[in-house]
Amino acid sequence: MPLKKFVAFKFSLLLSITLLAQKKKPDYYEPGKITFYYNVNWELTTQEKSVVKREAYFNLKDMVFDGVYSDSNADGKVVEEGYYAHGKKSGMQTEYYNDRSIKSTIEYTGGDFIIWQKMNPDKTYEVIRGTGKFTANYYYFFDWYLKSGTMTGEFLNGKKVGQWTYYNSTKVKTDVEHYKNGKLIDRYVFTKNDSAAATSGKEIILSVNAILTESLAFDKTAFTNTNQFFESQVAYPADFNRTVTYPGGIRRLLFLLSEQTGVPENNLLMIKLKIDEHGQILKTNVIVSVDEDTDNRGLEVLKLHEPRLAPAFSNGKPIASTIYLPVSGGEKWLKMLQEAPTEWLLDPNNFLN
């Protein structure tokens, strides 16, 4: 069904609502300290099956790491520690070898990173005090699949300099960037038969472990969904309340559904979900349809994310609930997802009138 008056008229209303919401006192939630257990694949698992234990501050409303964390191996030795700012690594992150010598120190800020130290197992340095040439693995998403590659780059006094070159898993060069004094000068993307200039740096992820932990991937031999881990490990405060959520928050799920379903711009797919107290979907209905193919694609995408849904809470207890998920496409829709209060996005009356 077309969005009709929704896109044309309610977008200005949305901006007004957003401004009003910004003036309201935020519903602040204090992250609590939780112990997480991971298997060798960095999936959430039981304590008995774990090889890594993480002590971390975690926001249970948006299901994100939010504060300091420390990872220890089976011998109790710290292997990594750092800080998250509401789901994003921020500031210094340090990784250690078993003898407590520093493997790497990386600073994250504003979506970018600086390698201050990178030491090889033989104790030779590639980067020290923010200076040096290095080679490292990196990860990226392509068509929603996680890909890996290698890159070479250089830092000088904590700033990117010179040529940075990226290769895919088959050692084919895919991108070249040039930096001067920390500033991106240019970037070229290579295909099989051509190359093209890009206006921004390549988006990469330095650690596959971070992808798995932040997405709350779980050990399927231990749990059938992510929420089972939290049911077994977390004592919720007696005054704890939240709506149905997802790793990164329910807004994150709306982004993923929109990007992966491919609803045409100015069209709306709305899915009604009945979810039990364990975060499992009991019933699914399409209450606003685009067309049969798009509707079915949206439901299939939702199934991929279903195992990581977390239930609503009321006064410290998980409850069954109903939620409406709007899915659309285009730049205006993405802007709405960025700016609208979550409560507004989840209110079906804002879309059906």
Rounded to two decimals, what is the model's pTM? 0.89
Q: How many angstroms separate the CA atoms of 116 and 138, rounded?
A: 17
pLDDT 10s digits, 283-318: 999 999 999 999 999 999 999 999 999 999 999 999
Query: Domain residues of the chain, as ranges?
Result: 5-28+236-352, 31-119, 131-215
What is residue 259's three-state secondary structure?
Answer: helix
Instruction: State the pLDDT confidence band at 1, using cuts at 50, 70 and 90.
Output: low
Name which of 175, 213, 256, 253 is nearest 84 in CA terms: 213
DSSP 316: T
Count of other CB atoms within 10 angstroms of residue 155: 24
- Residue 5's pLDDT is 46
Degrees, nearest 5: CA angle 103-105-107: 160
CATH fold of 31-119 reads 2.20.110
* Residues 6+ positions from 126 with CB-CB distance below 8 Å: 118, 119, 120, 132, 133, 134, 135
Q: How many angstroms separate the CA atoms of 214 and 217, rounded?
A: 8
Interval 310-332 mean pLDDT: 96
| Main-chain phi, psi angles of 277, to 5 degrees | -70, -5
Query: Which tokens belong to 249?
Result: 């928050």
pLDDT 10s digits, 59-74: 999 999 999 999 999 9
Instruction: State the pLDDT confidence band at 105, using cuts at 50, 70 and 90.
Output: very high
pLDDT 10s digits, 231-266: 999 999 999 999 999 999 999 999 999 999 999 998
What is residue 308's three-state secondary structure?
Answer: helix
pLDDT 10s digits, 201-220: 999 999 989 999 999 999 99
- Residue 352's pLDDT is 81
pLDDT 10s digits, 162-202: 999 999 999 999 999 999 999 999 999 998 888 899 989 99
Q: Would you list the DSSP string of 98-150?
A: TTS-EEEEEEEETTEEEEEEEE-TTS-EEEETTBEEEEEEEEEEETTEEEEEE
Q: What is the percent of the chain with per-residue pLDDT over 70, rounded to a whole number?
A: 91
Average pLDDT, the chain: 91
Contact between 82 and 71 (Cβ < 8 Å): no
Higher-confidence residue of 126 and 146: namely 126
pLDDT 10s digits, 48-60: 999 999 999 999 9
Query: Which tokens belong to 52?
Result: 């890594």
